[in-house]
Chains A and B, each alone.
Chain A
């Protein structure tokens, strides 16, 4: 599913160059549920951005689902993200002036699917995350857990093969964190690949494979057998 070979990335700030990712090699198979851990500045978010085609990399090769992702135009990248990847963010990133259903339907808008059909599909996915009754509510009327579940429904709505989650529980209390993680585990059972960036150990414990990043390099890569 995901294959990185000797991927390097550095940021230039003025005269200084910050080498964030150093020759990262990583293979993630279809249907895996992987957590990426590391302290702040370890490069875990940069890695996720590159995997999510939100950012470019300097050297190496990145294959996603068998396709080389390199020097894509903005348009191609947007299409790629829309069709194959779903995103879940720490701060939910819902559009404030749209209700839950419209938020979930938004990715389908960029696939030129008719409004009626979009909203029907969006309702199905809201039902899956248990928020069908909240479809017409706006994000500011929802709790943090509910917002994240709307965001997960939005990530699922295009039926992607890969879901990338950046600190999905970072803004939630432990009870709702558990609920969200359980939901992600259910999603994983449908053969959807999940990559979760987190710095919480008990979140990482809920995944089947944990990768530790230190200073832009993979420090450890453990299969967690308890699942």
Chain B
């Protein structure tokens, strides 16, 4: 198979009619080029979205209350209800699947009025009340000082942790630790600074806030025992959706909400989002393979077709070979190899072209949902394997034709 003569002969036959060979091969080149580009693009989409999900724990669940949409036990629909501290205790006691839990409370926020002052600096920031668990749930890093701790919660201390942007806007290069900032007229001592683990706009939003102990936020800002939302994670090995379901049912029961009222409590489950996107991208990848393989199939049929014509033209040559001692199997192997060689060379050109185009286009396409469009080595090897298989398929009909040539046909065709 690796006999030099065999390859010499393949080279000689293919180079005898360069234009025809090139046009024939183009079909396969085009097919594999499309396949690579489509796979690369779908990979880019997948990576772009994966980047959006970065910095979030996959088993995290967020939950908040809305208005009811169904009448239940004497209550009309459209009733607004608030989560409260008793709910927090009930969740911790009655849903053992919960690993970490933190209630959340928010003041100020997007386009809010100036609410934080430090000396002569003022700014409008989001004020969030949290438990210490929030740090782990949100994967936050604390490069300076410390985060909220248990003692802060118990004693409702007036301390705060600054987001990275908040710190920069209020303190600049100055060390903020131990300084006092005024939040809606109440003084809070700065104990630390955190940095969001998320990317892009989400990170900016989070870094532009201040965290205070949850208990303090309720007391200092007259929020009673209100809870705006819960952030929680499921225990290891338990799907986030299980925690989501159980916590929701418990809260519905506690607030006399119809069990089938799906909109009364809103929630966001990271795991489900990831799975949803994975399903979409698996679909896109499958579609890319499907379309790519079909395009490639058109190329294969082209090669097969042209090779049948070449065989017809080579009847005499093949007849001579048969007369002087070539066994039919030898002829068959030769035609098969020619087909595989042609397909593989054409395909490699397609792979190189596709990868080159992706490399060329990649840096120029910067988008939130598109990142690094490329194919990995495994896919290239798979494409290569598909090519060799295609070559074999394309060679079947021509090589069978070739073996049917009898030596006397060569002597007759004059």
Contact = CB atoms under 8 A, between A and B. Distances in A.
A109 B5 contact: yes
Nearest to A82: B325
A81 B162 CA distance: 93
A115 B327 contact: no
Contacts of A97: 12-13, 16
B329 interface: yes
A57 B45 CA distance: 69
A55 interface: yes
A106 B324 contact: yes
Interface size class of A (residues with CB under 8 A): 20 to 34
A93 B320 contact: yes
Interface of B: 3-5, 12-13, 16, 316-317, 319-330, 406-408, 410-411, 414
B324 A115 contact: no
- Nearest 6 CB-CB pairs, A to B? A82-B325, A110-B325, A107-B324, A75-B327, A78-B327, A97-B12
A81 B324 contact: yes
A95 B334 CA distance: 15
Given A95-B317, A95-B320, A97-B13, A89 B411 contact: yes
B5 A55 contact: no
A115 B4 CA distance: 8
Contacts of B327: 74-75, 78-79, 110
Interface in A52-73: 52, 54-55
Nearest to B15: A97
A97 B323 CA distance: 18
Contacts of A110: 321, 324-327, 330
A125 interface: no
A154 B325 CA distance: 12
A89 to B, nearest CB: 6
B246 to A, nearest CB: 74
Contacts of B326: 78, 110
A95 B319 CA distance: 10
A207 to B, nearest CB: 21
23 contacts: A52-B323, A54-B407, A54-B411, A74-B328, A78-B322, A78-B327, A78-B328, A82-B324, A89-B411, A91-B414, A93-B323, A93-B411, A94-B320, A95-B320, A107-B324, A107-B325, A110-B325, A110-B326, A110-B327, A115-B3, A115-B4, A115-B5, A166-B411
Interface of A: 49, 52, 54-55, 74-75, 78-79, 81-83, 87, 89, 91, 93-98, 106-107, 109-111, 115, 154, 158, 166
A87 B321 contact: no
Contacts of A81: 323-325, 407
A180 B331 CA distance: 31
Given A75-B327, A107-B325, 5 more contacts: A49-B411, A54-B411, A74-B328, A106-B324, A115-B3
B321 A106 contact: yes
A137 to B, nearest CB: 16
A154 B320 CA distance: 11
B29 to A, nearest CB: 25
A54 B408 contact: yes
A75 B410 contact: no
A98 B321 CA distance: 13
B43 to A, nearest CB: 44
A98 to B, nearest CB: 8
B16 to A, nearest CB: 6
A29 to B, nearest CB: 25
Nearest to A109: B5
A75 B403 CA distance: 11
B13 to A, nearest CB: 7
Contacts of B328: 74-75, 78
B317 A78 contact: no
A52 B410 CA distance: 14
Given A93-B316, A95-B317, A97-B12, A75 B323 contact: no
Contacts of B408: 49, 54-55
A109 B320 CA distance: 13
A78 B5 contact: no
Contacts of A54: 323, 406-408, 411
Give the one of B3, B320, B323 with max A CB within 10 A: B323
Nearest to B6: A109
A87 B330 CA distance: 20
Contacts of A96: 317
Contacts of A166: 411
A83 B325 CA distance: 8
Contacts of B16: 97
A42 to B, nearest CB: 17
Nearest to B410: A93
A79 B327 CA distance: 7
Contact of B324 (A49, A91, A154): A154
Contacts of A115: 3-5
Contacts of B325: 78-79, 81-83, 107, 110-111, 158
A82 B329 CA distance: 15
Give the one of B3, B316, B320, B328 with max A CB within 10 A: B320
A5 B12 CA distance: 45
A111 B330 CA distance: 11
Contacts of A109: 5
Give the one of B4, B317, B407 with max A CB within 10 A: B407
Contacts of A154: 324
Contacts of A74: 327-328
B202 to A, nearest CB: 66
Give the one of A78, A110, A154 with max B CB within 10 A: A78
A94 B319 CA distance: 11
